[in-house]
Amino acid sequence: MNIFIKLLGTGISLLAGFVGTKLVDTVWEKSTGNKPPKGHEDDVPTTLRSALTFALISASVSAIIQVLANRGTQRAVTRFAKTQDLV
Tell me the average confidence (pLDDT) per consecutive run of 10 residues in the chain, 87 residues long. Answer: 76 88 93 84 76 93 89 82 67
Cβ partners under 8 Å of residue 19, min gap 6: none
pLDDT digits (tens, 9 = 90+) for 23-48: 999 999 999 988 888 877 666 678 88
Q: How far apart are CA 34 and CA 13, in angstroms?
A: 28
Q: CA nearest 69: which of 25, 18, 3? A: 18
Mean confidence (pLDDT) of the chain: 84
Per the CB < 8 A criterion, the answer to whether 72 and 8 are in contact is no
pTM of the model: 0.75
